[in-house]
Structure 1
Amino acid sequence: MKFRTAAIQYKLADIESFEQFAEQVTHYVRNASEYGVQFILFPEFFTTQLMSIGDEHGKALSIDRLPDFTDDYLRLFRSLSAEYGVYIIGGTHVIKTADDSLRNAAHLFHPSGKIDVQHKIHITPSEVEGWNMSAGEALEVFETEYGTIAMLTCYDIEFPEIVRMARAKGADVIFCPSCTDDRHGFYRVRYCCHARAVENQIYIVTTGTVGSLRKVDLMRANFGQAAVIAPNDIPFPPAGILSEGIINDDMLVVADLDLALLEEVRLRGAVTTWRDRRTDLYTDWK
Structure 2
Amino acid sequence: MKVRVSAVQYHLHTISGFRQFADQVTHYVKTAAEFEADFVLFPELFTTQLMSIGGADGEALTINELPRFTDEYKELFTGLARSTGIHIIGGTHIIYENGRLYNTAFLFYPDGTVAEQRKLHITPTEVKEWSMAAGDKLHVFQTAKGTVAMLICYDIEFPEIVRMAKARGADIIFCPSCTDDKHGFHRVRYTCHARTIENQVYVVTTGTVGSLPTVDFMRANYGQAAVITPNDIPFPPGGILAAGEINDDMVITADLDLDLLYQVREKGSVTTWRDRRTDLYADWS
* TM-score, shorter chain, exceeding 0.5: yes
Q: How many angstroms apart in 2 are the aligned matches of 1:46 and 1:281?
A: 41
What residue is the counterpart of 1:138 in the other structure? 137
- Letter of the 2:143 partner, please give it: T
What residue is the counterpart of 1:79 in the other structure? 79
Report the alpha carbon displacement of residue 281 of structure 1 after superposing the two structures with TM.
2.4
What residue is the counterpart of 1:95 in the other structure? 95
The answer (yes or no) to whether the contact 1:173–1:204 under 8 Å persists in 2 is: yes
Q: How many angstroms apart in 2 are the aligned matches of 1:279 and 1:139?
A: 21
What residue is the counterpart of 2:258 in the other structure? 259
Report the alpha carbon displacement of residue 279 of structure 1 after superposing the two structures with TM.
1.7
What residue is the counterpart of 1:241 in the other structure? 240
SS of the residue corresponding to residue 44 of structure 2 reads coil
SS of the residue corresponding to residue 176 of structure 1 reads strand
Measured against aligned partners, the alpha-carbon deviations of 1:260-286 in whole angstroms (never above 9, x if no partner) come to 000100001000000001122223336
Q: Which consecutive aligned stretches of 4+ in structure 1 deviate over 6 angstroms post-superposition? A: none
1:153-164 superposed matches below 5 A: 153-164=152-163
The answer (yes or no) to whether the contact 1:168–1:284 under 8 Å persists in 2 is: no
Q: Please list every run of 5 or more consecutive structure 2 residues that lacks an aligned counterpart in the other structure.
A: none
SS of the residue corresponding to residue 173 of structure 2 reads strand
Q: How many angstroms apart in 1 are the aligned matches of 2:283 and 2:73?
A: 35
- Letter of the 1:231 partner, please give it: P
Measured against aligned partners, the alpha-carbon deviations of 1:201-229 in whole angstroms (never above 9, x if no partner) come to 00000000000001100000000000000
What residue is the counterpart of 1:63 in the other structure? 63
Q: Is residue 31 of structure 2 the alignment partner of residue 31 of structure 1?
A: yes
Q: How many angstroms apart in 1 are the aligned matches of 2:30 and 2:278?
A: 45
Q: How many angstroms apart in 2 are the aligned matches of 1:100 and 1:6?
A: 35
TM-score by length of 1: 0.99
Q: How many angstroms apart in 2 are the aligned matches of 1:281 and 1:218?
A: 42
1:32-47 superposed matches below 5 A: 32-47=32-47
Pairwise CA RMSD: 0.7
Q: Please list every run of 5 or more consecutive structure 1 residues that lacks an aligned counterpart in the other structure.
A: none
Q: How many angstroms apart in 2 are the aligned matches of 1:52 and 1:58?
A: 10
What residue is the counterpart of 1:53 in the other structure? 53
- Letter of the 1:88 partner, please give it: I
- Letter of the 1:59 partner, please give it: E
The answer (yes or no) to whether the contact 1:92–1:105 under 8 Å persists in 2 is: yes
Measured against aligned partners, the alpha-carbon deviations of 1:18-67 in whole angstroms (never above 9, x if no partner) come to 00000000000001110010000000000000000001011000001000
Q: How many angstroms apart in 2 are the aligned matches of 1:27 and 1:108?
A: 18
Report the alpha carbon displacement of residue 129 of structure 1 after superposing the two structures with TM.
0.7
Q: How many angstroms apart in 2 are the aligned matches of 1:62 and 1:278?
A: 47
- Letter of the 2:120 partner, please give it: I
Q: What is the count of residue pairs matched by the alignment? A: 285
SS of the residue corresponding to residue 179 of structure 2 reads coil
What residue is the counterpart of 2:17 in the other structure? 17
What residue is the counterpart of 1:185 in the other structure? 184
SS of the residue corresponding to residue 89 of structure 2 reads strand
Report the alpha carbon displacement of residue 188 of structure 1 after superposing the two structures with TM.
0.3
